[in-house]
């Protein structure tokens, strides 16, 4: 079922994200948090299109695709090219602020979440 859904997207999923998504047993989504509650809820393939429609991502950030969130912070992949990077942006700022690169790929993001050692996790610490 996942592969039939994937073919209807109209763009190529980054390899690391496709691998993650195909392994998510919960088709609706997956909570992925560290001991301090840092992390996010990553949508399963059944909820991806609905979540993107809810936040009007196609209109406000047409080059990106929403894959999960932590409260108001959205996690995105780039729809054009074969970039594996994960980006983040406050969902209220879609279309008015620049996406921030937070990880080189999905595996890197999950590693960052679990390797965090404090309760004040900030994905943007290393960004300019």
Average pLDDT over residues 32-38: 79
The confidence band for 111, taking pLDDT boundaries of 50, 70 and 90, is confident
Q: Read off the pTM.
A: 0.87
Structure confidence by residue, pLDDT tens digits, 46-97: 889 999 999 999 999 999 999 999 989 999 999 987 789 999 999 999 999 9
The confidence band for 127, taking pLDDT boundaries of 50, 70 and 90, is very low
Q: What is the helix, strand, coil percentage profile of the chain, to 5? A: 30, 25, 45
Q: Is 69 helix (H, G, I), strand (E, B) or coil?
A: strand
Distance between CA atoms of residues 99 and 86, nearest Å: 10
């Amino acid at each position: 079922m996942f592969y039939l859904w994937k073919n209807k997207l109209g763009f190529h999923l980054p390899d690391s994200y496709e691998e993650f998504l195909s392994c998510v047993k919960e088709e609706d989504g997956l909570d992925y948090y560290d001991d301090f509650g840092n992390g996010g809820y990553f949508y399963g393939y059944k909820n991806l299109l609905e979540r993107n429609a809810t936040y009007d991502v196609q209109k406000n950030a047409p080059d990106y695709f929403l894959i999960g969130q932590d409260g108001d912070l959205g996690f995105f992949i780039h729809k054009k090219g074969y970039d594996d990077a994960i980006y983040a942006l406050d969902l209220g700022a879609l279309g008015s602020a620049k996406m921030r690169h937070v990880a080189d790929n999905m595996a890197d993001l999950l590693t960052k979440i679990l390797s965090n050692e404090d309760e004040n996790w900030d994905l943007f610490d290393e960004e300019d």
